[in-house]
Amino acid sequence: MILDRIPVCHRWIFFNLLLFIMQIPVNSQVFLSFEDSLLTGWTQNKDFRWEISGNFPLIDNFSLHHAYDNSSSGKDRISYPLFNLKPDSGLVTWNFVVRHGYPPSSANNWSFFLMSDKDATEMYPGGDLNGLVMGVNYTGSSDLVSLWKIVEGDASVLLETGFNYEENVSTSDIINFEVTRTLSGLWEIKIDTSDNFNHQISIGSVTDSWLMPCRHFGIYYEYSSSQDRKLWIDDISIQGRFFKDT
């Protein structure tokens, strides 16, 4: 064994060097296309609220879809682990496509949790979490695509873009979003409403260095009675610096 060849007096150097190497973040990516038809690893606020569906998919054959036929209004969420992401070590890029089949309002809206220290059970306005969330009308009813910072459950608008989702996006449109955060804390939101996703435009940016433990990302969907099952998400990609999982 290699360890047997190292003098005892030098082994502490070897172990410290090994520990240092294990803690170096590496470029990596989370990518979820939902083509495997499984929700393994996902957490829902209540079972069977979400499904992977082949009905009206956004990309390829399957998409994540809100599935629960609710007789009343609801606030459903789903999340996925995002352990070991280190946004304080370099650029992070979030990318996904979405279709919301109903005009946005204070009672009908969606948001994407870019990162959170709690899972889907707390991913709602007033939930006990710290996080950053991008979407439409997470709080308020402006219909503007916005970015919120949530500190100990208190959500505040970090960036309100000038892009009005209701005025510029139809209920049948498939939209591509990209959100980036640089090492210095510069956030930028880009959107692509073109049919082939080849015309991405920036709709706003803001600098804020605040961060929290990054453990999950997820989707929040609020709907009024009879407006459930009208949200689809697909091709979720998160690129950044991750610590190696040891």
Least confident of 8-22, 89-103, 172-186: 8-22
Residue 17 clears pLDDT 70, i.e. is over it: no
Q: What average pLDDT does the segment 216-236 reach?
A: 98
Q: What pLDDT, on the 0 to 100 scale, is given for residue 29?
A: 85
Using CA atoms, how far residue 34 sits from 37, 40, 61, 195, 237, in Å, is 6, 10, 9, 21, 12
Asked whether residue 59 is assigned to any structural domain, the reply reads yes
Q: What pLDDT, on the 0 to 100 scale, is given for residue 243?
A: 80
Asked whether residue 3 is assigned to any structural domain, the reply reads no
Residue 63 clears pLDDT 70, i.e. is over it: yes
| Domain range for 116 | 25-242
Q: What pLDDT, on the 0 to 100 scale, is given for residue 86?
A: 94
pLDDT tens for residues 141-150?
999 999 999 9
Asked whether residue 61 is assigned to any structural domain, the reply reads yes
Q: What average pLDDT does the segment 122-143 reach?
A: 98
Helix (H, G, I), strand (E, B) or coil at 194: coil
| CATH number reported for the structural domain that contains residue 118 in this entry | 2.60.120.200
Our count of domains for the chain comes to: 1
Q: What average pLDDT does the segment 165-176 reach?
A: 98
Asked whether residue 233 is assigned to any structural domain, the reply reads yes
Q: What pLDDT, on the 0 to 100 scale, is given for residue 19?
A: 44
Q: What rounded mean pLDDT belongs to the chain? A: 91
Residue 14 clears pLDDT 50, i.e. is over it: no
- At 16, is the pLDDT very low, low, confident or very high (cuts 50, 70, 90)? low
Asked whether residue 2 is assigned to any structural domain, the reply reads no
Q: Where would I find the beta strands (DSSP E) of the chain? A: 26-32, 43-44, 50-53, 63-66, 74-81, 92-100, 109-116, 131-136, 144-151, 154-164, 175-181, 186-192, 201-207, 216-223, 231-242
Q: pTM of whole model > 0.75?
A: yes
Asked whether residue 1 is assigned to any structural domain, the reply reads no
Q: What pLDDT, on the 0 to 100 scale, is given for residue 43?
A: 98
Asked whether residue 16 is assigned to any structural domain, the reply reads no
Least confident of 38-42, 76-80, 206-210: 38-42
Asked whether residue 41 is assigned to any structural domain, the reply reads yes
Q: Sign (positive/negative) of CA torsion 196, 199, 203, 204?
A: positive
Whether the CB-CB separation of 25 and 90 falls below 8 Å is answered with yes
